[in-house]
Amino acid sequence: MKKKIVLSGIVLAIAIALAVLFAANPFSGESKPNTVASTLLCRELPPEEIDFTILNDIYASIKESSVFRATADDPQTLYRGGAVAVFKQLGVPESQIPRWVWGEIDQRIATGSIDFTVFQRIYERLRDDPQYQNDPAYQDLRNPSLTREFFRAAIDGIIHKGLKDPFASYVDPEAYRLGQTDLSGQYQGVGMRHDLKDGKFLISEVFPGQPAEKAGMRAGDEVLAVDGKSLQGCSSFAFTSAIRGRAGTTVMLTVKREEKILDIRITRDVISMGVIASCPGYAFPENRGKSDRTLKVYCPLRDEKGNEVSDILYIKFEEFTEVAIYDLETVLRQADLSRFRGIILDVRGNGGGRVDVLMKTLDYFFADDRVFKYTDWADGSRTVYQYDRFDYATKIPMVLLVGPDPQSENPGAHNNSFSAAEGFAGTLQDYGRAILIGEGRTGGKGTTNQYFPLRGGKVGVLYLAIGLWKTPEGRTVQGEDLDGDGYEDTGGLMPDIVVQWTDEDYAAKNRDSLWDPVLFKAIHTLQETK
C-alpha cells in the first residue's frame, strides 16, 4: 500500500523559536520624532485554565500514528516523566515532590491503563490547597501568563521520556499558525528578524534590499510600538502577528534608535525568501536580485592562502522549501558548467524541508531514473521515491559540505545538516555522485513527520514521526539516545572526508570571520580531481 508524500523537516517549533522571519516590498519611510504610545497592543489576558485531559488526546495520537508507538507502553515512565517535568518547571526538584503526588500516580499505574486526568487532580490540589498557596515554590501556579508553560512541561515530559522520538514536540496555536508558510519559502511582512530580550523587541537583522531596509530600519533598532500601540507585555508571536499582514497594506513602527524616537512606515508584500545562494551570482526572476547577494563566503572563492578560485561553482542550500526548486534551476541553467572544474554544494546548517523538493533538486544531478529514498510507515507499508525529469549537472564532479554552518547565528545542537538535507547527502553518497566533507556526523533525523491538531488546533498541535526513511542503499540516519542522557549516541551520516578545526583555525577565524577549513578542503579536493 502506498502512502502520500508528507512534509519532512526538523521540528518547526524549534525553527520558529530560534528566528521568526518577515519579508515584504519597499515603501517610502517616515522618520520623525514621536512620543511613545500609551495604548497597549497586547491586553492582559484572563487566567488560562489548564486542561490536562488533552494529554489523553496526545497519547491517542501517539498510539495511532507514531512510528515509535511501541516505546510508549510503560505507564510508569509516562506518568513519572510528566510529573517530574511539571515540578521541574516550578523549580521543585524530584526529591521534594510531595509524597501524595506519587501516591496518586501509583494508584493510576496500578490500574494498568493510561488516563492523564490524574494530572488535573494534582494540579488543582496544588493550586487550591491552602497548604501550598503560601508556599513560594507554588506561587507560579496562580500566574496566568505561566499556565501554558506547565502544560507544555507535562507534554515534553511524556513525549521525551516515554516516547523514543527525539524530534517529537508540542506546538502552541500561535506558533503553528505563524509557521505555516515556512516550508513554502514565502512570507508576508517587512523583511527583518527580531529578538525579544528583557521585554525589548530588538531588530537583529534587516534583509538587504528589502522594504524594512529601504524604509530606514536598522539592526539594533528597538521597536516600541506597532501602529501606535505599545508592545509592552507582548510575546514574540504577538509582535509577529502585528507585523504580518496582507500584501499592499502598511504598518507603522515606532522605534528607538540611540536617543531618538522615530516613526517608520513600511508596505507589506509577498516575496520568496532566498534559500539558494551561489558564487558566481546569477539573476533571480521577479527582480529578486542576484544569487550572490546573501553569500557568507568570499566571492570569488578563496583558499586558505587568499588565492582566488574562479573555476569552482559554489551553491549554498539554506532549506529545502519550494522556492529552492526554482532558484537552484535558475543557477544551474545560467551557469556555463564548462567553465568549472566542479561544484561545491553546501547544506551545512540546513534543517531540512519538503520531500518533493528533495526529490526534484536531486534529480538535477542525475541523468536517469533513480530511487532517491524510501520510507517505512507506522502501519508497515512502504513508499519508494523516484523522480526523473531534468538533467542539469549530471557529469560534473561535486563535493557536498555537511555538518554545522560556521556562519550560523544559532550555534549548538541544532546547527547541523538534518532531515531532507541528510536525505540529499545520503543519496549523493550512496550513488557516488558527490564526495561528502564535514566535521563529523550529520544531525540524525531520519523521520518523516506530521502535525496532529489537538481539538481542532485550538489548543495547539502535536508533531510526531509517522515514518522512518532510508537512503537508496537502505541506510537509516535516525539517531537514538541509548543511555538516556538526552543526547543521541547513534545516527547521522559520516562524511567521506572529516575535517577537524584546529587551534590555528579558531585563531584565524578570530582574524577573519569567513575562515572555513571545511570549504578549503572542498576546494583542494576538486582541484585534485582530474
Q: What is the pLDDT of residues 126-185, one digit of tens each?
A: 988 998 888 888 887 777 666 777 788 888 888 877 787 878 888 877 667 655 545 555
Q: What is the pLDDT of residue 505?
A: 97
Q: What is the pLDDT of residues 36-90, one digit of tens each?
A: 555 677 654 444 567 888 899 999 999 999 998 888 888 888 898 889 988 998 8
pLDDT score of 35 more than 80: no
ω into 300 cis (within 30 of 0)? yes
Q: What is the pLDDT of residues 284-294, one digit of tens each?
A: 987 778 999 88
Same fold, 20-44+196-270 and 273-370+391-443+485-527: no
43: CB partners within 8 A, 6+ apart: none
Q: What is the pLDDT of residue 411?
A: 64
Q: Domain residues of the chain, as ranges?
A: 20-44+196-270, 73-162, 273-370+391-443+485-527
428: CB partners within 8 A, 6+ apart: 345, 362, 365, 398, 400, 434, 436
Segment 462-486 shows an average pLDDT of: 83
Q: What is the pLDDT of residue 300?
A: 96
CATH assignment of 20-44+196-270, among 2.60.120.560, 2.40.50.140, 3.50.40.10, 2.30.42.10: 2.30.42.10
373 secondary structure, DSSP code: E
Segment 411-416 shows an average pLDDT of: 76
- In angstroms, the CA 16 to CA 150 distance is 20
Task: Please state the φ and ψ torsions of residue 224, each to the nearest 5 degrees.
Answer: -100, -30
- In angstroms, the CA 203 to CA 212 distance is 11
CATH homologous superfamily, domain 273-370+391-443+485-527: 2-enoyl-CoA Hydratase; Chain A, domain 1 (3.90.226.10)
Q: What is the pLDDT of residue 5?
A: 34
Alpha helices in 162-226 (DSSP H): 173-178, 211-215
Mean pLDDT of the chain: 84
Q: What is the pLDDT of residue 21?
A: 27
Residue 522's Cβ-count burial label (10 Å; 0-12, 13-18, 19+) is buried
Q: What is the pLDDT of residue 25?
A: 28
Q: Where does the pLDDT of residue 23 fall: very low under 50, low under 70, confident under 90, or very high at 90 and above?
A: very low
pLDDT score of 313 more than 80: yes
Question: Strand 229-230 vs strand 39-40: parallel, antiparallel, or unpaired?
Answer: parallel
Q: What is the pLDDT of residue 20?
A: 28
Q: Residue 372 in contact with residue 404, Cβ under 8 Å?
A: no
Query: Which residues does residue 412 pair with via DSSP β-bridges, in sequence order?
Result: none
Higher per-residue confidence, 331 vs 35 = 331
